Structure 1
Amino acid sequence: MTESVEHTAGPAGAPHPGSEPAPGGYPAARLRLLQDSAPTGPDRRAALARLTDDWLAGLLDRHATAPGLSATALVAVGGYGRGELSPRSDLDLLLLHDGRSDPRALAALADHLWYPVWDLGLALDHSVRTPAEARKTAREDLKVQLGLLDARHLAGDPELSAALRTAAYADWRESAPKRLPELHALCQERAERQGELQYLLEPDLKEARGGLRDATALRAVAASWLADAPRGGLEAARTLLLDTRDALHLTTGRATDRLSLQEQDQVAEALGVLDADTLLRQTYEAARTISYAADVTWREVGRVLRARSVRPVLRGLLTGRTAGKGERSPLAEGVVELDGEAVLARTARPERDPVLLLRAAAAAAQAGLPLATHAIRRCATATAGHPLPVPWPAEAREQLITLLGAGPYTVPVWEALEAEGIITRLLPDWERVRCRPQRNPVHTWTVDRHLVETAVRASTLTRRVHRPDLLLVAALLHDIGKGWPGDHSVAGETIAEDLAARLGFDARDTTVIATLVRHHLLLVETATRRDLDDPETVGAVADAVGSTGTLELLHALTEADALATGPAAWSAWRGGLVADLVKRVAARLAGEPEPEGPDADGPTAEQERLAIEAGRTGGPVVALHTRAEPTAESAEQPPAQQPVGVELLIAVPDQPGVLPAAAGVLALHRLTVRAADLRFLDPINDGPVLLLSWRVAAEYGSLPEADRLRVDLVRALEGALDVPGRLAERERAYARRSRAVPAPPPRVTVAGGSSRTATVIEVRAQDAHGLLHRIGRALEGAGVTVRSAHISTLGANAVDAFYVTGEDGAPLADAAAHEVASAVEAALR
């Protein structure tokens, strides 16, 4: 049997003595085709492949009848095998033989094929093998195996080519469970080395993540029959990258895949594109489509291989479940985890629940899970004719904020929503920044990804601010004006104001968000370019910001923006200058009027009625009811679309442990506290009554009955219900399956100067099961009285204020107050 012969480059020096001059017709015809502007894109690649096919077939036919030769065939593999021949593409060729030819005659035939190609200056990858040798090499070399999947007969014995192609596909499908993880590892290693095409200013169209190599890998996965890529837009994206590479080859006259800055204008002109920015944006969109398809496909491959790794019968014996059925773990109302993804529950009805998609996205990101493509598409289809009302209902806004605050896992969930067209449906102004390049080399990302990255960075700073929801939304919108002419900060202010109102923020919050967007560069530019000792400098910043609350948010936004820009945009020096400026501006703004105390609003008639009944009966009184939230368009929505809130009122005669007991009972019943207010009333002079007013939502499942809540609250106050033990048990069970990303640590502080009659303990932490119960127990353990409390859950962040006094009813001394704050913080860690 003849040994296989393989070369990867042309020989040095003069042509081989046995070679013949290339036929004059092919070089001339090739040149005419490449200079002809009529055929473009796929048509030109196919025409060039056909022209090359005819030439190579003629070479083989001319020499395949020489003495000593048996059956042979010439096969195109790789890109040439697919018939996609770019102007400077390599020719990937395999000379097949049946093993009975004379070795010297076979080598001479190979020379008659390879040297004419080299004489034309074309790159050539070639080999000479029997079908058995080709299969053996493919089993040892993944790249060879992938190339054989695109094998195409050019000339010679067609049975040799057909037999090899059939065997190659059979071998691939048989070895796929072992080979696909190897292919995935190669793709990941290449992505680490080359970067992500969709964000690079000078991308490699072939090797970068989302490039042509990844598109080829997806074809191989589909050929394995184990999984298939989402088809929507994939072929169009691949074609666009191939067209761009063709134009790059013709523009440079070189076999290059890197779209360099100095060549982008010429390539854009060759493609008939408006300018280089438009070219990059189209390229990024194509790469994003391929990257998303790759993410979904490799996730499906992993799921299939995991399912195959354990025999169904054994899996059923070990788990006690029916073979082939995965375990569903609830994540949120209508959302469960299944096989490592967030999917819709069987009972979910997206056509009746327009917030379901945002809830699913938030739950997926908080759990560190991908959001299943079919869940996104089902929700998108179901709600196509029933969009969210404008302004959004409170739950939709809260779920968006929860998604933005999930940290790094926000990114893949956001990208999945964007790939399916959801983001521009929710936020129409997003279209202008989507895939928009940033020519400044300081920027790592496109405009849209930079905005998401800024929200990711801001999520780590939420403990520093009183309104993390405003910080996260401002982070998402701060560069939204870059899609418009003029100063992007000025344009962005108007857009952010409109979008904030669309999301359902009130007028005051909308103004704050717009101010943050308008001045998101103010602090860093002033700190690094102005004299901070000049009172006019500090005064100008104070006038622009307007309040200490906005200043606090702007400081965090400035840091998040810089960190998300790139490593050159932030340093300890810049951070120190900005912090110094903020300190000076805060001192200037310190003369603001003191905010109203916590008891500025009196109780409602229903609250007074419940307090009277609790005082009369000596036990807790519970009322639970729903209420419609008015929106600008709610009257036009069908009943199933009406945004609804759930209000829970609890009145209890004053006694120790009410707050932790009530909060614990709510947690046991899987009620999430979105907002709460605690105050004392003395309606009939029979002793104070503690009134707790909650806005709650069922974590998943239906709402509990008010009588059930009252019974459990009585048991908890009497000590018959072990609330801490039950919550700890649930937390352990949840932790076993939780993949949630680590949240910033809790922060508990003493808010000096906030009240003359009480000490204000502020808690900022990640919302979690039983959080308010743990806070209440810690405060009770510290020996203080909670005179009132104001609870806010902003997305996934709890921002709570507790007005506490000592046993004498007076505010705590400074040292004692800080001891209480430290004790609460320790209890939350």
Structure 2
Amino acid sequence: MAKVPNQRDIIDRKTLVSDLALLVDDFAPTSMEFRNAVLKKLKQALASGQDEIKRRFMENNKGRPSMHAASFLMDQIIRVIYDVATEYIYPLSNPTPSEKLSLLAVGGYGRGELAPHSDVDLLFLFPYKQTAWSEQVVEFTLYMLWDLGLKVGHATRTTDECIRLSRQDITIQTALLEARYLWGDKELATELRNKFMKEIVAGNGKQFIEAKLHERDERHKKYGNSRYVVEPNLKEGKGGLRDLQTLFWLAKFLYSTTEVSELERRGVFTRSERQRLTKASNFLRTVRCHLHYLTNRPEERLTFDVQGELAARLGYTDHAGTLGVERFMKHYFLIAKDIGDLTRIFCANLEAMHQKKSRLSLPRIGLLKRKVDGFRAEGGRLDFLSEEDIFSDPVKILGLFHVAQNRGLDVHPNALRLIRRNLKLINRKLRQNEEANRLFMEMLTSRKDPETTLRRLNEAGVFGKFIPDFGRVVAQMQHDMYHVYTVDEHTIRAIGILSHIEDGLLSEEHPLSHRIMPKIVSRRVLYTAVLLHDIAKGRGGDHSVLGADVAKRLCPRLGLTASETETVAWLVRYHLLFSNFAFKRDISDPKTVADFVQIIQSPVRLKLLLILTVVDIRAVGPNVWNGWKGQLLRDLYYASETALTGGHISDGRTKRADYNKGRLAETLTDWSDEERDAHLARFYESYWVSNSLEIHKHHAELMRAADRTDDTLTIEAVSDQFQSVTEVTVYTPDHPGLFARIAAAMSLSGASIVDAKIHTTVDGMALDSFVIQDMEGNVFDQGDRMKRLRATIEDTLKGKRKAHIELTTREHSSLPSRTRVFKVEPAVMIDNKASNIHTVIEVHGRDRVGLLAELTRALFTLSLSISSAHIATYGERAVDVFYVKDMFGLKITNDVKLRSIEEKLIEVLSEPEKPRKKSAKSKKSQVEKTQ
């Protein structure tokens, strides 16, 4: 363990021992008074030492010395406890050979590293079996440590038990590998060490390596299998501390050292790699210490609520276009990437030195060295023929990955190491090289797993060097709850999803995208657009606009024609258009389709943009896509395709309404003429043009059944597993505020409303349809959820429950939401151009329980009638759109009324705990109106 400076400032064991010796004069050693007095002294010493360690850490911001100091402090405390037990409480005047006890530190403590709130792992070692004396000493030691408030992991074993168990359990084997003598009988600890090295370590390197690497792979799967998740686990996640520890476990098992300098001397690492390893190790340890101090617990996750404070403590400040917290997390991801690189290098050296079989399941001939297209294949991995290759012809850097992709080979770590050391060869001249750009485009658009190849290029540092604009977003995170991955990881995943759609692997989830993919005129336009759609993030402006400029500049270099370049730039510029219209607008409103088509202008663009939108959403995170979003995109696609290929967006509202009524009349064959005519006359024109024939028929049957039984409240629910939604239809007498009350009841029941349409009949009935999901984005029909939802809606509408009051109470009494760490500026946009007959209100704010209910209640108090609502949540950000009319069924055009709507909704969107300000001219909103 490293030497700790000024040790006595942390704990003066000699003085502490003297103070404890004096207690024997005041209390009998076996008395509880003596024990309590000892505990008091130890608490003081521990608290004083911990304060000094924390002071030093906050002063120098270095985690490794802090961990060593904490381990030193714990050593002294445990030694003192052991000495008190064996000298004062359970002394032995003439111990037998079996009355020996050795204390060993294991785990992180064994390495001499203790984070502020880490567990203290101990091994109590006996020679043959546990005696009454040793049992008493162990019990006293443990109880004292527990009473000091420490978390202790412990095992009590003999030497033979340790050896036997380590053969059976890789975890125990690893713990013994790190065991460090602490106190007690030193010969016993030495005996265990010698026996362990002779019987377990010697000759078993291969098995240990395979077991630890398998353990690592399983751990990676558990924690997301990516080092680029935006809330990483810095201990167990990919590229975290555990990966570093695995590397050192392997080194200790094979080389009997954990000193990086010794690994450099043996040729395992170069000097620069050793420096990278030390830098990564120091950074992660410092972050971990800060995280423990900040949370006051053994927290290992870099969650959103701590990232900002950690960034501030580590000195990361905001720069133009980039938050300090994003700069901190980018540094973290680059460190995690370094650890992955170094692990691969280390494992390659192990394989070379110990002739370990390739971990790939390849035919025996694959293990032989052979030439492949100007490179050398060895063990299923591709390498350069000589180091001189890349200097004489730097294009071979890209050629290596190109051949590996075509031949289904991995890239040899030696080649990766050579490339990383010479990334300066990827310069302006190489970027302008026609052959190099051809190779890159072929890898990007290949039918042979482009995702894996692009990830290899990125891990090697080649991607960001060859496409410098992409290099700017490597490890770039967005500090929000919507985006799960860094920008580069999101982009590479999106290309992988596009490839899967093209190969038919996602045909059931994305039937339309799969069907139109073969009709795409230029595959490289689509693949390039996916590559560039987020390339301008983090630059401080609209990344869509800035990204289009990047595309115009980069595409000709990549070999795209002027026409292809224009299309790629357009797709990047409008890559959010499809989702904005599909998720925020009423697709049944002809004006929505007309406005969308006016921007699209081309069936070719429509196809390209749909697929780009699908892969973009899918690549955001595991639970972002659902069937409902897919259905909305398909509905908008089909409506737009019809308009673009000669169909009419609107043949006249009245004509369309009459046509739809006629189609419904033809299907109601078992209805009398009087029943049918009465039903067709019950709805206003808007109902007939905004629903499909299937929905019209379903509503007709539901209403007839309810009217025949005189039910004043009918609630029906139908789930669609493919769309991942449950549609709830409420048929009841209309009254003011009905939508708001139903929305409150649904929120109270844990339902998330994603879409709603409100229709009123001429005879005063309301037919409201709500599309809902559970909080995980699934159908809302598991267990007895629907039964509880029906009861809550019924009780709310009958006045038995005040749902909006219950929601307010719940919000104030519940634990703070994780979304509170994010600031979302409230915004209200009122648009009188998006619809011919409605005023469209779009609101943005921080999501919270009951927000929709509050917003709809506010609209009710403003005497507005809601015709449809479209609800979307992007992590912590809620985006809700309402199609409304005034009490006379008209658009809202009065300036005073518009300002009143804006102010009222801003008040609702503002944080409840903050004073709500009203302003005639709010800087947080925009009003667009057409008189």
TM range (shorter): 0.5 to 0.7
Q: Which of 476, 500, 518 is the equivalent residue of 2:573?
A: 518
Q: Which of 311, 318, 327 is the equivalent residue of 2:369?
A: 327
Structure 1 residue 123 displacement after superposition: 0.6
Q: Look up the match of 2:287.
A: 244
Q: Look up the match of 1:150.
A: 178
Q: Which of 31, 45, 51 is the equivalent residue of 2:73?
A: 51
Structure 2 Cα separation of the partners of residues 301 and 102 of structure 1:
41
Q: Look up the match of 1:477.
A: 532
1:263 counterpart = 2:306 = yes
Aligned-residue sequence identity (percent) comes to 28
Which one-letter code corresponds to 2:41 in the other structure? Answer: P
Structure 2 Cα separation of the partners of residues 75 and 492 of structure 1:
58
Q: Which of 460, 473, 492 is the equivalent residue of 2:547?
A: 492
Q: Which of 562, 569, 572 is the equivalent residue of 2:625?
A: 569
Q: Look up the match of 2:439.
A: 399
Structure 1 Cα separation of the partners of residues 593 and 534 of structure 2:
25
Structure 1 residue 435 displacement after superposition: 1.5
Change (3 A) 1:408 1:113: farther
Structure 2 Cα separation of the partners of residues 138 and 337 of structure 1:
38
Q: Is residue 465–residue 471 contact of structure 2 (8 Å, CA) maintained in 1?
A: no
Structure 2 Cα separation of the partners of residues 365 and 520 of structure 1:
29
Structure 1 residue 197 displacement after superposition: 6.1
Q: Look up the match of 2:718.
A: none
1:254 counterpart = 2:310 = no
Structure 2 Cα separation of the partners of residues 309 and 109 of structure 1:
50
Structure 1 residue 497 displacement after superposition: 2.2
Q: Look up the match of 2:223.
A: 194
Q: Look up the match of 1:82.
A: 111
Matches within 5 A, 1:687-706: none
Q: Look up the match of 1:120.
A: 148
Cα shift readout 1:547-595 (whole Å, capped 9, x = no counterpart): 55444433332222222224433533034124325514642799xxxxx
Which one-letter code corresponds to 1:257 in the other structure? Answer: E
Change (3 A) 1:531 1:97: closer
Structure 2 Cα separation of the partners of residues 508 and 151 of structure 1:
67
1:174 counterpart = 2:174 = no
Cα shift readout 1:483-523 (whole Å, capped 9, x = no counterpart): 21122111211222223244344444332222221111122
Q: Which of 129, 137, 162 is the equivalent residue of 1:134?
A: 162
Matches within 5 A, 1:162-241: 162-170=190-198, 171-196=200-225, 198-225=227-254, 231=274, 233-241=276-284
Q: Which of 466, 478, 494 is the equivalent residue of 1:426?
A: 466
Q: Look up the match of 1:773.
A: none
Q: Is residue 80–residue 91 contact of structure 1 (8 Å, CA) maintained in 2?
A: yes
Q: Which of 288, 302, 305 is the equivalent residue of 2:337?
A: 288
Which one-letter code corresponds to 1:270 in the other structure? Answer: R
SS in 2 for 1:503: coil
Change (3 A) 1:466 1:305: farther
Cα shift readout 1:305-331 (whole Å, capped 9, x = no counterpart): 885599xxxx9xx98x9xx9723262x
Change (3 A) 1:472 1:306: farther
Change (3 A) 1:54 1:531: closer
Q: Which of 492, 496, 502 is the equivalent residue of 1:456?
A: 496
Q: Is residue 390–residue 502 contact of structure 1 (8 Å, CA) maintained in 2?
A: no
Q: Look up the match of 2:402.
A: 362
Q: Which of 47, 56, 59 is the equivalent residue of 1:28?
A: 47
SS in 1 for 2:122: strand
Structure 1 residue 35 displacement after superposition: 4.1
Cα shift readout 1:205-228 (whole Å, capped 9, x = no counterpart): 222233222222221222333996
SS in 2 for 1:277: helix
- Structure-1-length-normalised TM-score: 0.61
Structure 2 Cα separation of the partners of residues 466 and 302 of structure 1:
47
Structure 1 residue 376 displacement after superposition: 3.0
Cα shift readout 1:231-272 (whole Å, capped 9, x = no counterpart): 563333233222222112111211222233223333333333
SS in 2 for 1:258: coil
Q: Is residue 345–residue 417 contact of structure 2 (8 Å, CA) maintained in 1?
A: no
Structure 1 residue 446 displacement after superposition: 1.6
Q: Is residue 496–residue 514 contact of structure 1 (8 Å, CA) maintained in 2?
A: yes
Q: Is residue 90–residue 125 contact of structure 1 (8 Å, CA) maintained in 2?
A: yes
Cα shift readout 1:392-432 (whole Å, capped 9, x = no counterpart): 33322222122223468444443443333322211222233
SS in 1 for 2:140: helix
Which one-letter code corresponds to 1:51 in the other structure? Answer: L
SS in 2 for 1:192: helix
1:587 counterpart = 2:642 = no
Change (3 A) 1:569 1:308: closer
Cα shift readout 1:177-222 (whole Å, capped 9, x = no counterpart): 2233332332222222222463334332222233222222221222
Structure 1 residue 369 displacement after superposition: 3.1
Structure 1 residue 90 displacement after superposition: 0.7
Structure 2 Cα separation of the partners of residues 530 and 106 of structure 1:
75
Structure 2 Cα separation of the partners of residues 271 and 388 of structure 1:
35
Change (3 A) 1:345 1:587: farther
SS in 2 for 1:203: coil
Structure 2 Cα separation of the partners of residues 463 and 232 of structure 1:
50
Structure 1 residue 477 displacement after superposition: 1.0
Cα shift readout 1:416-472 (whole Å, capped 9, x = no counterpart): 433333222112222332222234544332211111112222234363422212221
Q: Is residue 384–residue 415 contact of structure 2 (8 Å, CA) maintained in 1?
A: yes
SS in 1 for 2:564: helix
Structure 2 Cα separation of the partners of residues 112 and 407 of structure 1:
67
Q: CA RMSD in A?
A: 3.7
Structure 2 Cα separation of the partners of residues 379 and 405 of structure 1:
23
Structure 2 Cα separation of the partners of residues 173 and 447 of structure 1:
46
Q: Which of 320, 328, 341 is the equivalent residue of 1:279?
A: 328
Which one-letter code corresponds to 1:421 in the other structure? Answer: G
Matches within 5 A, 1:658-737: none
Which one-letter code corresponds to 1:114 in the other structure? Answer: L
Which one-letter code corresponds to 1:276 in the other structure? Answer: V
Which one-letter code corresponds to 1:29 in the other structure? Answer: S
Q: Is residue 234–residue 241 contact of structure 2 (8 Å, CA) maintained in 1?
A: yes
Change (3 A) 1:105 1:359: same
Cα shift readout 1:789-809 (whole Å, capped 9, x = no counterpart): xxxxxxxxxxxxxxxxxxxxx
Q: Is residue 426–residue 462 contact of structure 2 (8 Å, CA) maintained in 1?
A: no
Change (3 A) 1:574 1:470: same
Which one-letter code corresponds to 1:583 in the other structure? Answer: E
Change (3 A) 1:381 1:373: same
Structure 1 residue 482 displacement after superposition: 1.1
SS in 2 for 1:480: coil
Structure 2 Cα separation of the partners of residues 251 and 46 of structure 1:
19
Structure 2 Cα separation of the partners of residues 363 and 414 of structure 1:
13
Q: Is residue 408–residue 456 contact of structure 1 (8 Å, CA) maintained in 2?
A: no
SS in 2 for 1:45: helix
Unaligned runs of 5+ in 1: 1-13, 591-829
Structure 2 Cα separation of the partners of residues 219 and 511 of structure 1:
52
Structure 2 Cα separation of the partners of residues 283 and 457 of structure 1:
26
Structure 1 Cα separation of the partners of residues 130 and 221 of structure 2:
47
Which one-letter code corresponds to 1:328 in the other structure? Answer: R
Which one-letter code corresponds to 2:39 in the other structure? Answer: P
Change (3 A) 1:441 1:266: closer
Structure 2 Cα separation of the partners of residues 257 and 579 of structure 1:
45
Change (3 A) 1:309 1:283: closer
1:38 counterpart = 2:96 = no
- Structure 1 residues 381-390 or 391-400, which shifts more? 381-390
Q: Look up the match of 1:618.
A: none
Which one-letter code corresponds to 2:59 in the other structure? Answer: A
Change (3 A) 1:169 1:17: farther
